[in-house]
Each structure stands twice: as C-alpha cells, then as structure tokens.
Structure 1
Amino acid sequence: MDQAEPVIERGATTRLLGTWTLSRHRQLKRLLTQTPVPEGEVQLRHIGALDTAGAALLARWLGLERLEAIINAETGLQPERRALLETLLRAMGREPAPAAKKPAALLQALALLGEQSEYLARHFWQLSGFVGLVLQTLAVVLPRPSRWRLTALVNQIHQTGLNAVPIVALLTFLVGAVVAFLGATVLGEFGAEIYTVNLVAYSFLREFGVILASIMLAGRTASAFTAQIGSMNANEELDALRTLGLSPIELLVVPRVLALLVTLPLLTFVAMISGLVGGAVVSVVSLDIALSQYLSIVADVPLKHYLVGMVKAPVFAFVIAVIGCMEGFKVSGSAESVGRHTTSSVVQSIFMVILLDAVAALFFMELGW
C-alpha cells in the first residue's frame, strides 16, 4: 500500500495514518464518508502530513468539540500540528459578530445633524484659510507690476465678462418684463399702474441686477474655474508648477479673482439696464405709459439705490472666484471628483451670494438706505 495514502486504523485505539493534505482531498472525503466516527480514543500523532484542507475535513468528521478534546488529551502531538489544529478550531468555531443595534430615530437625526455641522464648520474653516492665502498673495503681487500677468487677466476678463454679456442681458430683460407684468397685475387693482415703473427700478437697481448677474456667473464661471483647475490638479500640472518654484495661487487664482472683480460690476450694470429696458417695453406696450414718462420716473430714483446694488458686486465677485478656485484645488485624480466639486462650487457660490445679499439688505435697512 502506498504509505502516503490516508488510512484510518480502527481498533481499541483509532489511529490516523498517511497524508492528510489538499492533494488527497478527494480520497479523504471518500474515506471519511465511509468510516463512522469512532467512539474510543483517537490518535493524530501518526499522521504523516497535515495541512489546513485535511484538518478542516477532520474537524467536520469528528466535530469541533471532539477534536478539541482529542488535541488536549494527546500529549505526543507535534507542537506545529497542535498549533495548526487549534488555529483551525478557533477559526471554525468563531461565531458571527452580533449585529449592531440600530440607534433610535432621534439619535440618528442628532448624529446626522452633528456630522453636517462638523462638515460645515470644517468647510468654512478651509474657505477662511483659502481667502487669507489669496489676500496675502494679492498683497504681495499688486504692489509689484512686474509680477502682474496681464495676458492671463485679459483672457479671463474676455471669457468671464464679454462672453457672458448676451446671456446676462437676455435673462435680466426677461425678468424685468416679468416683474413689470406682475406689478401691473397687482397694482392695477388699485389703479396704480404707474408705480410699476418704481417697482422695476427699485428692484433692479438694489437687488435683481446684482443677484441675477452673480447667479449667472456662479453657474457659468465658478464651475469653469473648478473644472479648469481641477483638471490641472488631476493631471499633476499643479505639482509641476510647485516643482518649478511657481505659485499656483499667483498663476491661476489671482488672475481669475481680479477678472471677476472687474467683470461682475460691469455685468451688474448691464443687468440693471437690461431689466429697466424689459420693464420699459412692458410699460409702453401694455400699460400705455409713455417712454418719456417712464424715463423721467426712473431718473427720479435716488442715486443711493444704484450704489447699494453696485457696492455688492465686488464682494460677490470675490466670493464666487475664491469658491470656484478652492473647489478646483480639492479635485482628486478622477472624472467623478471633477464633476462632484464642480457641482459643489456652483451650489456654494449661489448659497453664499444669497446669504451675503440677505445680510447686506439687513445692514442697509438699518442704515436707512
């Protein structure tokens, strides 16, 4: 008989012989299926070779408790074989971890609130740090004309400002017409259609002009900034700039921030004029208000309302540019990350614009403006 063949010698003491390894797995299964489990003593010390596969079959044949008792009782078992069998017993006898108890709905809501609060606090902390870095770079670059990158600045002004004029003008023209229709509908019930002109003038000079232009730039320009810088970050171009000793903030962020500081006030002015033109078209066509009368009423609006709208434009421009650039630096090396941070920059920019506008409205109301 082949000495390597697995054998079970039955008697007063059952002895296991031969090779109990993966190479004999089929023979072992057939042998153990045909052999009943012995009642008396079982000796494992005579096994010629044993691996995990053979030990697992042995454990299933004898049972975990019986095999453990045999290991403890047999003093002549080799130490390495004893260690193998004990490790297998622990692995096969390990019970699945109990399922985590589902927290109550209130605790889940509180946990979610805490996570979101932590995320917002961390995000505003990062935004504050990035704003400080941009302001520091501006303080270093602006007093030194030799470090100005006029080509990049003009290119960004062209892309963010000139190319955005048609869509901003069209949007605000239509909104101006809608506001005029709404004012005529409501005020007409009181015979005060003439005050529709005041409604359009005040709303566009103070709020709608700068808000609509800012939202358009947040969706159009902040997303472009994030995608451009994010693609460079994913392609390791920013690391190459740092290796060359160049500052990505100075090369990429400063021209974009300065471009928006120039273009958003101009686009705000375009939005104001387009909104007033939209209101004028509705007033002349539908309300029988003469154009000269419309212009005279608009001219009587105090200058402070125009200044309230214009003074918010640079603040909104800075916030939009900084958020768009910061999200670009957060992009990792995947297209999914570019899309996620691009969406995040648009949402954050619009949210911050509306939040700052609400704060400004309360501030100017307290000043009596």
Structure 2
Amino acid sequence: MEHPAEFQVENTAEGRIARLTGDWTADSLGGAPGDLAAQLDGAPATVIDLTDVRRLDTAGAYALVRATGGEFDAAEVRSRPETRRLLDLVVRAAKIKRPPPRPRQGIEDLLIRIGQGVVNLGHDAFGTLVFGGHLLVVTMRNLINPTRIRWAACFSLAERAGLDAIPIVATTAFFIGAVVGLLGANMLRQFGAQVFAVELIGIAVLREFNIIITAVLLAGRSASSFAAELGSMKMTQEIDAMRILGVDPFEALVFPRFLALLVTIPLLTFVATLAGLFGGLLVTWTVLDLGPTFFLQRIVDNVGATHFWIGLSKAPVMAMAIAGIGCRQGMEVGGDIESLGRRVTAAVVHAIFAIIAIDAVFALIYMELDL
C-alpha cells in the first residue's frame, strides 16, 4: 500500500525542523515537494528529519533536494544510512554541470564529418563482406541439400515480387518503348532515315531499357519491402527468437528472398522486352506508317537476339544486388522507428545506385568484347 508523501515544518529551540513522512517516490510525491519549497522559502530548515520516511527513490531524493534548495551541507540530516547515501549521490549528481560546448570552426566540422563518413564507409564495407559470406555459406548449404530450402516461402515471395509486379513493369516498359520510338522518329526524320527508328527501338529496349526498368522498379518495390519486413521482425525481436530456437535467419528469411528475385527478374525482363517492343511498334506504325510485319522483320534481320541475351545476362547480377541490399538493410535495423525509416530509404537508394553501377560495368565489359 502506498503512503503519500507528507511533511511538517516546526520551529523549535534547536532550529527549524522539516519532518518528512510517507513514501517519497515517483508515484507518491504529488504536490508535496512544491508545498515544502514554498514553506521553506526564505527560511531554510536547520534539521531535515527523514527517519519516518518509508520509501525513497532517486525521483523523491531529487525532488527533496530541489525543495530544500540543496541545503544538505548546512542542515543536519537525520536518516537511515542507506537513505543518506542515496541523498549524497543525488546531491553530487545535481551539482555536476555540463561544460559548455566548445565552438568549432567550419573547417573542423567539415573534417570531422569527412572522417566519420570514412569510418562509416569502412564499417559498411566490413558488414557487407560479413553478410555476403554468411549468405554464400547458406546458399552452398542449400545447394548441397535442397531439402533445406523453404519452397513455400520462395514461391510466395516469387509471386509477390514477380507476378504482382507484371502490370507496373509492362506499363512502364511500354511507355519507355513508345518514348524511344517518338524520339527516334523525330530525330531521324530530319535525315530521311526514319526507318532506322526500328533498330533504335530494338537495341535500346533489348539491350538496356528492359533490364534497367525492371531492376529499378523492383529496387523501389522489393528492396524496400524486404528491408521493411526484416526490419519489423528485428524490432519485434522475432529474429532473435529464431536464433534462440536454433533457426538461422539467413536460411529462413534471406535466402528465400534471394532465390525469389533470382528467378523472377529474368521473367520480368522478358515481359518488359515484349512491352517495350510493343510500345515502339505502335509508335512506328502510327507515326511512320511502318506496319507490324515490317517492324518485326527488321528486328529479326538487323537487331537479332544477341542484344536480348546481353540484356538478360545482367538480370541475375541485378537480382543478387537488389535482394542482398534490401535484406542487409533490414537486418541492420535498430530498435526504433527512425532506424527502420532510414534503412528502408537506404535500401532503395543503394539498390538503384548499384543497378546503375552494374549496368556501367557490363557496358564496359561488352565494349571490350565488341558485343
């Protein structure tokens, strides 16, 4: 049973005595500290009697210090030894003042931020290597023993990342193909070479735009989803619970997402290719009056399947980058919502940056191979 904090101030021959009773704890303080401070204002107590205080915590001790103006050095304190130790501890802590922040120059702040950025980059690089190594071990373990693969989770994630993404991927690729066709038709018409708009559409869609559009859309759609899902599980300590139960989170959560994207991105790239070519076909048909048969025949004769396979060869690498970045950012989420938001944003930004960088590397490789 809680007893509210109470006090009495008496004027005696030995001086002014403040007698405290009840529970001076955070839940029982009420308005007692304020009333005590008002009664002692201008006439501090010479004796502070705490012998009848039942319970005292740091909140009550700090309220008492503030109410009495911190006059424990001048006043006589009557209390149990443990109460006195707590009061002395609170008094010492209350007297500590933080030193004022030292003003820093602009160049110093710049150097500090650069140094912190370099250190954080090193930590991220090390964390990426650890994540990649763990994922590689789990992948090899599942390849050696396929019965360990959680096929139900893989198919479910493949449906969410693949089938559900077909409308947005096809629509975006269709308009990209149409835009390329319009630009090519308008530019090449000035030279009387508008017929070559078919080759422009074919090479652009088959080689670059099909995989780029698919990867960027999945970076915003799947990488953020993976980071949010794993981050929420990390915040609610579900991943820690899995480790306690002997379940490897990489095998149960990361690898199915990795495998799902690895399978679905090539299929979505094929869908994006068909949609992009169809958008270009409609433009050349309506603007240049080049029929579908003529369009398809020039694609087969002058573009060929080589550009399609070049574009498709980037798909597995893009899938590994998107799934790896999304899952790693999700596994790095802390215990607050702010951390979750930062990691989801970082997953999308890093994934898109990785897509552009990977495409540039492939472009250099194929340029050296003269493909």
TM class by shorter chain equals: 0.7 to 0.9
Rounded Cα–Cα distance in structure 2 between residues aligned with 1:27 and 1:337: 48
Return the TM-score normalized by structure 2: 0.75
Q: Does 1:136 pair with 2:137?
A: yes
Paired residues for 1:185-200 under 5 Å: 185-200=186-201
Q: Which residue of 78, 91, 100 maps to 2:102?
A: 100
SS of 2:16's partner is strand
Q: Does 1:368 pair with 2:366?
A: no
Instruction: Give 1:307's aligned residue.
Output: 309
Instruction: Give 1:270's aligned residue.
Output: 271
Rounded Cα–Cα distance in structure 2 between residues aligned with 1:99 and 1:132: 43
Q: Give 1:28 deviation, angstroms.
A: 6.9
Rounded Cα–Cα distance in structure 2 between residues aligned with 1:214 and 1:58: 69
Instruction: Give 2:221's aligned residue.
Output: 220
Paired residues for 1:134-283 under 5 Å: 134-283=135-284
Seen in structure 2, the aligned counterparts of structure 1 residues 27 and 197 have a Cα distance that, compared at 3 Å, is closer
Seen in structure 2, the aligned counterparts of structure 1 residues 239 and 203 have a Cα distance that, compared at 3 Å, is same
Rounded Cα–Cα distance in structure 2 between residues aligned with 1:291 and 1:30: 98
Seen in structure 2, the aligned counterparts of structure 1 residues 101 and 269 have a Cα distance that, compared at 3 Å, is same
Rounded Cα–Cα distance in structure 1 between residues aligned with 2:43 and 2:341: 61
Rounded Cα–Cα distance in structure 2 between residues aligned with 1:307 and 1:97: 65
Q: Which residue of 321, 324, 348 maps to 1:322?
A: 324
Seen in structure 2, the aligned counterparts of structure 1 residues 287 and 95 have a Cα distance that, compared at 3 Å, is same
Gaps spanning 5+ residues in structure 2: where? Answer: 1-9, 21-35, 50-64, 75-86
Q: Which amino acid aligns with 1:230?
A: G
Rounded Cα–Cα distance in structure 1 between residues aligned with 2:97 and 2:164: 66
Q: Give 1:179 deviation, angstroms.
A: 0.9
Rounded Cα–Cα distance in structure 2 between residues aligned with 1:54 and 1:290: 94
Q: Give 1:50 deviation, angstroms.
A: 7.2
Rounded Cα–Cα distance in structure 2 between residues aligned with 1:56 and 1:164: 67
Seen in structure 2, the aligned counterparts of structure 1 residues 21 and 311 have a Cα distance that, compared at 3 Å, is same
Seen in structure 2, the aligned counterparts of structure 1 residues 98 and 228 have a Cα distance that, compared at 3 Å, is closer
Paired residues for 1:87-126 under 5 Å: 97-102=99-104, 104-126=105-127
Seen in structure 2, the aligned counterparts of structure 1 residues 58 and 254 have a Cα distance that, compared at 3 Å, is closer
Rounded Cα–Cα distance in structure 2 between residues aligned with 1:248 and 1:28: 62
Seen in structure 2, the aligned counterparts of structure 1 residues 151 and 55 have a Cα distance that, compared at 3 Å, is closer
Q: Which amino acid aligns with 1:19?
A: R
Rounded Cα–Cα distance in structure 2 between residues aligned with 1:58 and 1:269: 80
Rounded Cα–Cα distance in structure 2 between residues aligned with 1:346 and 1:317: 13
Instruction: Give 1:41's aligned residue.
Output: none
Q: Give 1:19 deviation, angstroms.
A: 3.4
Instruction: Give 1:49's aligned residue.
Output: 47
Seen in structure 2, the aligned counterparts of structure 1 residues 172 and 108 have a Cα distance that, compared at 3 Å, is same
SS of 1:201's partner is helix
Q: Which amino acid aligns with 1:221?
A: S
Instruction: Give 1:331's aligned residue.
Output: 333
**CA RMSD, aligned part only?**
3.3
Do the aligned partners of 1:207 and 1:309 also contact (CA within 8 Å) in 2? yes
Seen in structure 2, the aligned counterparts of structure 1 residues 330 and 28 have a Cα distance that, compared at 3 Å, is closer
Q: Which amino acid aligns with 2:368?
A: E
Q: Which amino acid aligns with 1:18?
A: G
Seen in structure 2, the aligned counterparts of structure 1 residues 193 and 95 have a Cα distance that, compared at 3 Å, is same
Instruction: Give 2:77's aligned residue.
Output: none
Do the aligned partners of 1:22 and 1:54 also contact (CA within 8 Å) in 2? no
Seen in structure 2, the aligned counterparts of structure 1 residues 19 and 254 have a Cα distance that, compared at 3 Å, is same
Seen in structure 2, the aligned counterparts of structure 1 residues 185 and 242 have a Cα distance that, compared at 3 Å, is same
Q: Which amino acid aligns with 1:49?
A: V
Instruction: Give 1:38's aligned residue.
Output: none
Gaps spanning 5+ residues in structure 1: where? Answer: 8-16, 33-46, 60-66, 68-83
Seen in structure 2, the aligned counterparts of structure 1 residues 239 and 275 have a Cα distance that, compared at 3 Å, is same
Rounded Cα–Cα distance in structure 2 between residues aligned with 1:363 and 1:170: 30
Seen in structure 2, the aligned counterparts of structure 1 residues 166 and 98 have a Cα distance that, compared at 3 Å, is closer
Moved more, 332-341 or 219-228: 332-341
Moved more, 253-262 or 182-191: 182-191
Q: Give 1:354 deviation, angstroms.
A: 0.9
Rounded Cα–Cα distance in structure 2 between residues aligned with 1:31 and 1:105: 50
Instruction: Give 1:354's aligned residue.
Output: 356
Q: Which amino acid aligns with 2:180?
A: V
Q: Give 1:168 deviation, angstroms.
A: 0.5
Return the TM-score normalized by structure 1: 0.76
Do the aligned partners of 1:226 and 1:326 also contact (CA within 8 Å) in 2? yes
SS of 2:358's partner is helix
Do the aligned partners of 1:20 and 1:54 also contact (CA within 8 Å) in 2? no
Q: Give 1:293 deviation, angstroms.
A: 1.8
Rounded Cα–Cα distance in structure 2 between residues aligned with 1:28 and 1:324: 62
SS of 1:339's partner is helix
Do the aligned partners of 1:6 and 1:28 also contact (CA within 8 Å) in 2? no
Instruction: Give 2:346's aligned residue.
Output: 344
Seen in structure 2, the aligned counterparts of structure 1 residues 238 and 99 have a Cα distance that, compared at 3 Å, is closer
SS of 2:247's partner is coil
Rounded Cα–Cα distance in structure 2 between residues aligned with 1:95 and 1:213: 57
Paired residues for 1:16-95 under 5 Å: 18-19=15-16, 49=47
SS of 1:190's partner is coil
Do the aligned partners of 1:29 and 1:57 also contact (CA within 8 Å) in 2? no
Question: Identity rate of aligned residues, in percent?
Answer: 39
Tell me the number of residue pairs that the alignment of Structure 1 and Structure 2 aligns: 319
